[in-house]
């Protein structure tokens, strides 16, 4: 059973070729990106596909310091980390009573949150800009953290509520008998039981926030507070002829996501396949 007959193998060849072609279509641009990071502009033109002459880090150093990407990188880390933590904490808090108490208004409140999953928030950016200005949250990483959390809360509440709903009711009842307060039940008993939900929310919030470019574009004017995607969008125009530098800045900006993807590819595949919960 393990070995297929030769004609059957032959019949499968065109399919394998199709899959291989798309694999190449994905990997080739990324390969070119990686090798170009180590080449000078002249070398990029002379030696298109080959490996670089030397693996010098010159382009990375120049991108990190001269183009000040290091600064943007730290901003992006702060915003992403802050938004992930804030989203998880407030969404888990909201999802706990909504999924496990009998309140009489669970359905309406859950519906209010869930309606936000599909809302085209970019179209509200004028009023959001006015609001942020009057709150003094323009040119502010805190402002970005609050906006991203607000956008990601609906999806996070949805995921947490789904996972918490199926936990046995004896779980919190027993803890309540032992005199545990509701806050302790949530953070010490319920939340550890829904770790998969925490990781789904953390992964997809981190990807969405790290990658976003629209809100920094309208809220951040001061170079000191720019995030990586915004900075890169400027580089592409500004350093147009310095290809090595631009390629290196692209590589730096995708590095954290690449590392995360290599470590968590399975969880990400399953999360998307199950819920289509991205974007």
Partner 1 sequence: MTKFRRTTSLQRTQQRMAVLFILPALAIYGLFVLYPLLMSLWGSFFTWKGLRMQEFAGLANFSRLFVFPSGARLYGALWHNVAWFFGIMLLQNGLGLLFAWLLFLRGRGAAFFQSVFFFPAVLSPVIVGALWRLLLAPGGIVEWALNGLGLHQGSLTVLGNSHTALGMLIAVDAWNWMGLPVLIYTAGLRQISPQVFEAAKLDGAGNARMLYAIALPLLMPALGTLTTLSFINTFNQFDIVYVMQGVQGNPSYATDTLVTYFYRLAFGAEGAVGITDIGLALALGTMLFLVLSIGTLLMLRFFDKRTVEL
- Chain positions 231 to 260 lying near partner 1, rule: CB under 8 A, are 232-233, 235-236, 243, 246-247, 250, 253-254, 257, 260
- Residue 218 CB, nearest approach to partner 1 (Å): 6
**Quick one: tokens of 125?**
């950016």
Q: Smallest Cα–Cα separation from 46: which of 245, 193, 230, 243? A: 243
Under rule CB under 8 A, residue 179 binds partner 1:
no
For residues 13 and 141, what is the distance between their CA atoms, to the nearest angstrom?
52
- Residue 1 CB, nearest approach to partner 1 (Å): 13
Letters for 10-49 (x = contact with partner 1 by CB under 8 A, - = none) are: --x--xx-xx--xx-xxx-xx-xx-----------x--xx
Q: Contact region for partner 1 (CB under 8 A) — 64-72, 129-137, 163-171, 188-196?
A: 129-137
> Which residue, 32 or 175, has its beta carbon nearer to partner 1?
32
Under rule CB under 8 A, residue 201 binds partner 1:
no
For residues 155 and 205, what is the distance between their CA atoms, to the nearest angstrom?
9
- Residue 16 CB, nearest approach to partner 1 (Å): 8
Q: Smallest Cα–Cα separation from 121: which of 155, 160, 90? A: 155
- Residue 104 CB, nearest approach to partner 1 (Å): 9
- Residue 171 CB, nearest approach to partner 1 (Å): 15
Angle, CA of 187, 190 and 193, to the nearest 5°? 115
Site residues for partner 1, 99-128, by CB under 8 A, read: 101-103, 109, 112-113, 116, 118-128
Site residues for partner 1, 48-67, by CB under 8 A, read: 48-49
Number of residues that bind partner 1 (CB under 8 A): 90
How many alpha carbons lie under 13 Å from residue 267 in its C-beta half-sphere?
A: 15
> What is the DSSP secondary-structure string of 29-77?
HHHHHHHHTTS-HHHHHH-SSSPPSS---HHHHIIIIIS-HHHHHHHHH
Under rule CB under 8 A, residue 88 binds partner 1:
no
Q: Contact region for partner 1 (CB under 8 A) — 53-61, 67-75, 190-198, 206-214?
A: 206-214
Q: Smallest Cα–Cα separation from 40: which of 254, 251, 245, 252? A: 245
Buried b (16+ CB within 10 A) or exposed e, 94-110: bbbbbbbeeeeeeeeeb
Cβ atoms within 10 A of the Cβ of 112, count? 12
Under rule CB under 8 A, residue 96 binds partner 1:
yes
> Which residue, 67 or 186, has its beta carbon nearer to partner 1?
186
- Residue 187 CB, nearest approach to partner 1 (Å): 11
- Residue 77 CB, nearest approach to partner 1 (Å): 15
Q: Smallest Cα–Cα separation from 24: which of 14, 36, 32? A: 32
φ and ψ of 240, to 5 deg: -50, -40
Q: Which of 37, 141, 159, 207 binds partner 1 (CB under 8 A)?
A: 207
Q: Contact region for partner 1 (CB under 8 A) — 57-65, 67-75, 188-196, 209-217?
A: 209-217
Alpha-carbon dihedral sign for residues 15, 21, 25, 31? positive
């Amino acid at each position: 059973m393990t070995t297929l007959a030769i004609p059957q193998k032959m019949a499968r060849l065109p399919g394998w070729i199709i899959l291989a072609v798309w694999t190449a279509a994905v990997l080739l641009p990324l390969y070119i990106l990686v090798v170009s990071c180590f080449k000078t502009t002249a070398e990029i033109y002379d030696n298109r596909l080959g490996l670089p002459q030397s693996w010098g880090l010159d382009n990375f150093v120049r991108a990190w310091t001269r183009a000040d990407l290091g600064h943007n990188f730290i901003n992006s880390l702060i915003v992403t980390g802050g938004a992930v933590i804030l989203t998880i904490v407030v969404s888990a808090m909201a999802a706990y009573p909504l999924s496990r108490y009998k309140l009489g208004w669970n359905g309406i409140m859950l519906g209010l949150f869930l309606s936000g999953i599909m809302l085209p928030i970019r179209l509200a950016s004028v009023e959001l800009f006015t609001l942020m200005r009057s709150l003094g949250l323009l040119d502010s990483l805190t402002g970005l953290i609050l906006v991203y959390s607000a956008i990601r809360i609906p999806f996070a509440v949805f995921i947490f509520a789904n996972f918490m709903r199926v936990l046995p009711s004896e779980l919190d009842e027993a803890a309540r008998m032992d005199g545990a307060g509701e806050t302790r039940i949530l953070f010490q008993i319920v939340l550890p039981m829904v770790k998969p939900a925490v990781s789904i929310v953390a992964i997809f919030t981190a990807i969405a926030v790290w990658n976003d470019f629209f809100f920094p574009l309208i809220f951040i004017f001061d170079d000191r507070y720019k995030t990586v995607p915004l900075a890169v969008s400027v580089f592409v125009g500004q350093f147009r002829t310095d290809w090595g530098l631009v390629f290196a800045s692209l590589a730096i900006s995708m590095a954290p996501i690449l590392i995360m993807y290599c470590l968590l590819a399975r969880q990400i595949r399953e999360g998307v396949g199950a819920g289509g919960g991205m974007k």
